[in-house]
């Protein structure tokens, strides 16, 4: 056999693995230390009661012959597809048929798997820094990648590529920078894609965190976007489903790719758990909505505390207003890992080094508003006393 040699071009380990190694090393020398975790993008609030009750009821159905269910439809139950259309897209004046909405186990796998629809001879434009999965999935497929710098100077919004690119990944609100796009900025991308016959893969995993009215939640709010965009959603960060697993991907007929994605999913995916799909549906009930919004509001209060706490010591911060991530410039020109080590050793606080998200993340670290409030409060106090600028 011959292995896929493109794997040799990947960085050997995943970012969070490297962080774990440093933390383990620290703990072997300081075994009794309680570390404050402000880095990881996993949620910490418990699931709302209404969602757990719904999952319990769905599990109970499986215990009875008359309500038992076997394999779910590969692309999801129609009642969930229709609920998403009715509650998410129609209020925004956007219409879809149910078979344009593909229910899956979360955004991560779809974002990687979508790359299978395209020939390896495509140029892919990916923001830098970025959620690492876009780069890795396309490196695995051997595609040429054009990295688009997201810098303080461009407010962490990439400029349109000068050359023609075929596939464009956009993630707004952004992980890790917390940057967002206005309607006008997103329109430029849609127009670019229409002009160049490109496709945009729009990662909307954090759209629930938008509170400013001029920021689009969905790329389909932009005229003409259906022809050139696939949109990926997740219940992970909005409703706390990182372990439950559920998300959805919208592949409009107008892209010409709906049939291909349907074919791919029917062959390689055997459907999302019935219990998870019922749980996702429950997030759209009045009770579910209220509970999810309360969790989002809680995390955004934490984001504000982090922003203000870091600003008080004179650190320069970005994001954290329409996104749960705070992107913090390291002081005195320190490298990302250098500042990571300083925070670990002096403040017993774990952040995420920005360079782990790409070359242009060097000189930044990411703080996550998903961190436990108690940890954030103690960490900010320590940062105030230990870090002098």
The 3-state secondary structure of the chain reads: CCCCHHHHHCCCCCHHHHHHHHHHHHHHHCCCCCCEECCCCCCCCCCCHHHHHHHHHHHHHCCCCCCCCCCCCCCCCHHHHHHHHHHHHHHHCCCCCHHHEEEECCHHHHHHHHHHHCCCCCEEEEEECCCCHHHHHHHHCCCEEEEEECCHHHCCCCCCCCCCCCEEEEECCCCCCCCCCCHHHHHHHHHHHHHHCCEEEEECCCHHHCCCCCCCCCHHHCCCHHHCEEEEEECHHHHCCCCCCCEEEECCHHHCCHHHHHHHHHHHCCCCCHHHHHHHHHCCCHHHHHHHHHHHHHHHHHHHHHHHHHHHCCCCEEECCCCCEEEEECHHHCCHHHHHHHHHHHHCEECEEHHHHCHHHCCEEEEECCCCHHHHHHHHHHHHHHCCC
Residue 40: CB minimum distance to ligand PLP, A: 9
* Residue from the set 127, 178, 247, 252 that interacts with ligand PLP by CB under 6 A: 247
Closer CB to ligand PLP, 236 or 255, in the complex: 236
Residue 137: CB minimum distance to ligand PLP, A: 12
CA dihedral 213, 217, 223, 225 (to 10 degrees): 160
Q: Does 234 bind ligand PLP (CB under 6 A)?
A: yes
Residue 15: CB minimum distance to ligand PLP, A: 11
x/- letters, 121..150, toward ligand PLP (CB under 6 A) = ----------x-------------------
Residue 33: CB minimum distance to ligand PLP, A: 27
Closer CB to ligand PLP, 132 or 288, in the complex: 132
Segment contacting ligand PLP (CB under 6 A): 10-18, 102-110, 345-353, 378-386?
102-110
Closer CB to ligand PLP, 131 or 337, in the complex: 131
Segment contacting ligand PLP (CB under 6 A): 63-71, 107-115, 314-322, 330-338?
107-115
Q: Does 88 bind ligand PLP (CB under 6 A)?
A: no
* Residue from the set 82, 242, 273, 285 that interacts with ligand PLP by CB under 6 A: 242
Closer CB to ligand PLP, 187 or 237, in the complex: 237
Using DSSP bridges, classify how beta strands 167-171 and 349-350 pair: parallel, antiparallel or unpaired.
unpaired
In degrees rounded to 5, what are phi and psi of residue 371? -65, 155
Segment contacting ligand PLP (CB under 6 A): 21-29, 101-109, 264-272, 348-356?
101-109
Closer CB to ligand PLP, 80 or 205, in the complex: 205
Q: Does 205 bind ligand PLP (CB under 6 A)?
A: yes
Task: Give the CA distances from residue 59 to residues 67, 89, 273, 277, 283, in Å, rounded to whole numbers and listed in that order.
Answer: 10, 29, 10, 12, 17
Tell me the CB-side half-sphere exposure of residue 47, using CA atoms within 13 A. Answer: 20
Segment contacting ligand PLP (CB under 6 A): 106-114, 180-188, 291-299, 347-355?
106-114
Q: Does 106 bind ligand PLP (CB under 6 A)?
A: yes
* Residue from the set 74, 100, 166, 203 that interacts with ligand PLP by CB under 6 A: 203
Closer CB to ligand PLP, 175 or 198, in the complex: 175
Q: Does 200 bind ligand PLP (CB under 6 A)?
A: no
Q: Under rule CB under 6 A, which residues in 25-44 are in contact with ligand PLP?
A: 41
Closer CB to ligand PLP, 220 or 357, in the complex: 357
Closer CB to ligand PLP, 77 or 131, in the complex: 131
Q: Does 76 bind ligand PLP (CB under 6 A)?
A: no
* Residue from the set 50, 84, 103, 107 that interacts with ligand PLP by CB under 6 A: 107
Which residues, 6 or more positions from 36, have their beta carbon under 8 angstroms from its beta carbon?
347, 348, 349, 350, 371, 375, 376, 378, 379, 382
Q: Does 207 bind ligand PLP (CB under 6 A)?
A: no
Residue 30: CB minimum distance to ligand PLP, A: 29
| Binding interface with ligand PLP (CB under 6 A) | 41, 106-108, 111, 131, 171, 175, 203, 205, 234, 236, 242, 247
């Amino acid at each position: 056999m011959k292995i896929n040699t493109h794997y040799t071009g990947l960085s050997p380990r995943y970012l969070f693995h490297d962080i774990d190694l440093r933390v383990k090393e620290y703990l072997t020398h300081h075994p009794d230390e309680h570390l404050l975790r402000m880095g990881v993008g996993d949620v910490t609030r418990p699931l709302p009661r209404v969602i757990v009750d719904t999952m319990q009821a769905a599990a109970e159905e499986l215990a009875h012959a008359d309500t038992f269910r076997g394999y779910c439809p590969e692309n999801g139950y129609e009642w969930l597809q229709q609920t998403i259309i009715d509650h998410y897209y129609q209020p925004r004046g956007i219409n879809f048929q149910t078979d344009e909405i593909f229910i899956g186990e979360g955004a991560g796998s779809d974002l990687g798997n979508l790359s299978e629809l395209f020939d390896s001879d495509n140029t892919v434009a990916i923001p830098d820094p970025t959620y690492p999965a876009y780069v890795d999935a396309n490196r695995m497929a051997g595609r040429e990648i054009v990295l688009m710098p997201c810098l303080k100077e461009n407010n962490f919004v990439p400029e349109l590529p000068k050359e023609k690119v075929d596939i464009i990944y956009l993630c707004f609100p952004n992980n890790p920078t917390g940057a967002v796009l206005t309607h006008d900025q997103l329109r430029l991308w849609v127009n670019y894609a229409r002009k160049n016959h490109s496709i945009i893969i729009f990662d909307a995993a954090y759209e629930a965190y938008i509170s400013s009215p001029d920021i689009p939640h969905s790329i389909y709010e932009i005229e003409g976007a259906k022809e050139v965009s696939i949109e990926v959603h997740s219940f992970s960060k909005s409703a706390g489903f990182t372990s439950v697993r559920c998300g959805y991907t919208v592949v409009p007929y107008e892209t010409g790719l709906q049939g291909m994605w349907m074919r791919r999913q029917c062959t390689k995916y055997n459907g999302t758990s019935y219990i998870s799909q019922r749980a996702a549906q429950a997030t759209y009930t009045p009770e579910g909505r209220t509970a999810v919004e309360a969790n989002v509001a809680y995390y955004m209060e934490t984001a504000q505390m982090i922003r203000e706490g870091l600003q008080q010591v004179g650190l320069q911060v970005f994001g954290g207003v329409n996104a749960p991530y705070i992107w913090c410039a390291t002081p005195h020109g320190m490298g990302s890992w250098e500042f990571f080590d300083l925070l670990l050793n002096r403040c017993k606080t774990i952040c995420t080094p920005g360079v782990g998200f790409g070359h242009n993340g060097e000189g930044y670290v990411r703080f996550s508003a998903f961190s436990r409030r108690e940890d954030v409060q103690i960490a900010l106090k320590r940062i105030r006393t230990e870090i002098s600028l």
